[in-house]
């Protein structure tokens, strides 16, 4: 029985690429594999967000009304300003990372140290800003009423400007005790009580004739529907169920709770990536200071973490577009 031998031209080896396929080191290849797999994960999350938004397009919160906060400028409506600032900081941190990698190619330890430090500072500012944005979103601004059907009723004046519950609700002189395992149903435990009851909001609406109810449904112009004075009182009295302040995984004063679910999950997942990148950058930064890569005559590790950092920045561009711009 004869045996056929195939001449591969590489001294009997079937793989002729050596240990550097595509002329990339093992570490770079593994980083690219991770980035591709992580990109597919984010793509799935954003696709789910897109389908959900399309399904509930007639009641989806308007981003310009949700993200209007700027630190130290309380009470001012500045849509998207601070989010744009966060985006600018993250993009600039990607620029400093490029400069750090370029300095590494020239074995310039001083410049690598400087640009890595700037990258870390940019990442810390972004993570801190995102934490502040979360806290503001959870706390809320105006408050709203949740109906028996789960819809959200907001309040506006005759010119269409939002009105906070604290500006018109009539506070009744009585105390309300939250349910816990020793008071009320043994298996029911309430969270933090809202500042007002539905009855107090109704009483305030009756005494303020210039305030109307705005539903979460959008009209043909893409604006939320404002009810007449009579219809406002009717909706509140017949369907008012609970007072909602801020947003969490169950309710959202800005509209559909599904929006808050996706916001917390996707921006939180991205924020975890940024935080992880900052930690890794700090480790690499100290290795640069200690001269680890100077002795190796190679700053490839800076380039590897740079690939991850650029990926995190690119993902934020898509998150920013989906949540804030579209």
Q: Give tens-digit pLDDT for 67-119.
A: 888 888 776 778 889 999 999 999 999 999 999 999 999 999 999 999 999 99
Whether 266 is covered by a domain: the verdict is: yes
Collect all residues with Cβ–Cβ distance below 8 Å to 5 and sequence separation of at least 6.
none
10 Å CB burial of residue 109 (0-12, 13-18, 19+) is middle
* Nearest-5° Cα angle at 135, 318 to 60: 50
Please check whether residues 133 and 281 belong to one and the same domain. Answer: yes
State the DSSP code for 180.
Answer: B
Whether 2 is covered by a domain: the verdict is: no
Does the structure show a pLDDT above 90 at 313? yes
This prediction has a pTM of 0.84
Q: What tens digit of pLDDT does each residue of 206-240 get?
A: 888 899 999 988 877 778 888 989 999 998 888 88
Please check whether residues 134 and 262 belong to one and the same domain. Answer: yes
What are the phi and psi torsion angles at 225 (to 5°)? -75, 130
**Cα(106)–Cα(299) distance, integer angstroms:** 9
- Residue 208 is part of which domain span? 144-244
**Cα(143)–Cα(96) distance, integer angstroms:** 41
Please check whether residues 125 and 273 belong to one and the same domain. Answer: yes
Please check whether residues 134 and 210 belong to one and the same domain. Answer: no
Q: Give first-to-last CA distance, the chain, whole Å.
A: 69
Q: For a pLDDT cut of 90, what percent of the chain falls above it?
A: 49
Whether 12 is covered by a domain: the verdict is: no
Mean pLDDT for the stretch of residues 176-197: 60
Q: Smallest Cα–Cα separation from 119: which of 97, 141, 136, 139?
A: 97
Does the structure show a pLDDT above 70 at 175? no
Please check whether residues 129 and 156 belong to one and the same domain. Answer: no
CATH code for position 315? 1.20.120.80
The reported pLDDT for the residue numbered 86 is 95
Please check whether residues 91 and 174 belong to one and the same domain. Answer: no
Collect all residues with Cβ–Cβ distance below 8 Å to 94 and sequence separation of at least 6.
309, 310, 313
Kindly give the residue spans of alpha helices, DSSP state H, lying in the chain: 26-55, 63-66, 81-105, 109-139, 198-207, 229-239, 257-262, 268-290, 292-296, 300-320
**Number of structural domains in the chain:** 2
State the DSSP code for 247.
Answer: B
Does the structure show a pLDDT above 70 at 49? yes
């Amino acid at each position: 029985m004869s045996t056929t031998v195939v001449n591969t031209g590489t001294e009997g080896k079937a793989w002729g690429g050596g240990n550097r396929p595509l002329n990339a080191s093992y570490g770079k290849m593994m980083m690219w594999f991770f980035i591709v797999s992580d990109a597919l994960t984010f793509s799935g999350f954003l696709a789910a967000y897109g389908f959900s938004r399309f399904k509930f397009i007639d009641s989806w919160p308007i981003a310009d009304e949700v993200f209007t906060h700027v630190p130290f400028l309380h009470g001012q409506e500045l849509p998207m300003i601070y989010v744009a600032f966060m985006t600018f900081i993250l993009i600039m941190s990607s620029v400093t990372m490029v400069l750090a990698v370029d300095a590494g190619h020239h074995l310039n330890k001083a410049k690598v140290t400087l640009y890595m430090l700037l990258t870390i500072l940019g990442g810390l500012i972004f993570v801190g800003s995102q934490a502040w944005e979360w806290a503001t979103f959870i706390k809320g601004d105006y408050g709203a009423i949740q109906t028996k059907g789960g819809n959200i009723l907001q309040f506006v004046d005759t010119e269409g400007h939002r009105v906070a519950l604290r500006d018109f609700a009539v506070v009744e002189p009585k105390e309300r005790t939250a349910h816990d395992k020793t008071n009320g149903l043994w298996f029911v435990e309430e969270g933090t009580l809202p500042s007002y009851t539905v009855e107090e909001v109704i009483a305030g609406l009756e005494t303020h004739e210039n305030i109307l109810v705005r539903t979460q449904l959008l009209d043909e112009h893409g604006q939320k529907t404002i009810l007449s004075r009579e219809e406002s009182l009717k909706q509140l009295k017949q369907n008012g169920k609970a007072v909602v302040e801020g947003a969490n995984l169950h309710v959202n004063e800005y509209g559909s709770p599904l929006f808050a679910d996706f916001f917390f999950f996707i921006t939180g997942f991205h924020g975890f990536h940024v935080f992880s990148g900052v930690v890794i950058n700090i480790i690499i930064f100290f290795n640069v200071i200690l001269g680890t890569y100077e002795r190796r005559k190679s700053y490839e590790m800076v380039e590897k973490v740079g690939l991850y950092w650029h990926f995190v920045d690119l993902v934020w561009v898509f998150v920013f577009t989906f949540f804030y711009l579209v």
